[in-house]
A and B are shown apart, each in its own frame.
Chain A
Amino acid sequence: MTLFGLSPLVLYQLVALLLLLFGVFGFIWRRSLVGMLISVELMLNGAGLSIVASGQLTEAPAELSQLSTLLVMGLAAAEATLVLAIILVVSKRFGSAESENVSELKG
């Protein structure tokens, strides 16, 4: 399957890069902590897509890439759990879940 003359591997890598693009942009653009969490999930998902594409569409062992992506998914779930707890504490303590309000040092 080639599209515009590009190999499928590069096509999938470009989609993964698109996800990274949205993730990085959203992480800087968003003001609320929940929005930043959503952007991080986009980035992690792009990483998973890139790893699986590298395993499935090259000579590299495909099992290894799928296991790596499963690990990435597990880490994403653990990270989301912790960030949920942190967001809850922050919103209780500061009254909002916006990144700009969460600062106690003045300067």
Chain B
Amino acid sequence: MTEELMAKAMFVLYAVVVLGGGLMAVFSRSLVRALVGLILTLFGVSGMYMLMAAPFMAMMQVLIYVGAVVVLIFFAIMLTKAKTAGEEGGARSKVGILLAVLGMLAPVGIMTYLCLQMPYAFAPGVQPTEVEIKALGEMLINEYVLAFELISVVLFVAMAGAILLGFERRRGQ
């Protein structure tokens, strides 16, 4: 019973972290603060992976997102010399705000409705079990070897493309 209570408390804590981080990421004037909000959200989601008995995913989340993607975005902020306050400041048109709210509510509203209509919505659910990393690795080299190779090709092409774009910029000067 105490474990159940702890799980609920941790879920609520992580949900609050995700909510706060998301709000910070979307509404901060300064892009660096928005990035800090993104990091908060990523850590909250990582905690949720832990709660779902998927510690490997939690570790990969921290390694890939916080370790790589966030650092890349930070480079983007620094290299473009983004103004810390000016860019996102200023008034927005009423139509723009309305469009943003509508565009946000349309897909999310429909999906939330569908989610709550499902027959399992109010069932106790399945107890999650931890997956061995060995099982993941075996799947990657047996059935899903093509997907595994393709993702490495995609990463290589993205890296090569990024370098190419960087060089072209320098040659033009």
Q: Which residues of A are in contact with B by a Cβ distance under 8 Å? A: 1-3, 5-15, 17-22, 24-26, 28-32, 34-35, 37-39, 41-42, 45, 48-49, 52-53, 56-59, 62-64, 66-67, 69-71, 73-89, 91-92, 96-98
Interface contact tally, CB-CB below 8 A: 240
Residues of A within 8 A of B56 (CB): 66
Given known pairs A66-B131, A77-B69, the reply for A22 and B22 (CB within 8 Å) is yes
B108 and A66 form a contact (CB under 8 A):
no
Chain B residue total in the interface (Cβ 8 A):
87
Interface: B147 (CB within 8 A): yes
0 or 1 for each of B1-28: is its CB under 8 Å from A? (1 = yes): 0001001100110010011001101100
Residue picked from B76, B107, B125, most chain A C-beta under 10 Å: B76
Do the beta carbons of A56 and B34 come within 8 Å of each other? no
Contact B52 A26 (CB under 8 A): no
A34 touches B76 (CB 8 A): yes
Q: Determine if A85 and B41 form an interchain contact, defined as CB atoms under 8 angstroms apart.
A: no
- A10 and B60 in contact (CB under 8 A), knowing A18-B22, A26-B25, A84-B72? no
Sample of 30 A–B contacts (CB below 8 Å): A1-B125, A10-B115, A19-B22, A19-B45, A21-B105, A22-B23, A25-B104, A32-B31, A32-B82, A34-B31, A35-B34, A45-B42, A58-B126, A66-B56, A66-B131, A66-B136, A67-B136, A73-B65, A77-B68, A77-B72, A80-B68, A80-B72, A81-B162, A84-B72, A84-B73, A85-B162, A85-B166, A88-B80, A89-B165, A96-B80
B73 touches A38 (CB 8 A): yes
Report A-chain residues with C-beta under 8 Å of the C-beta of B52.
12, 52-53, 56-57
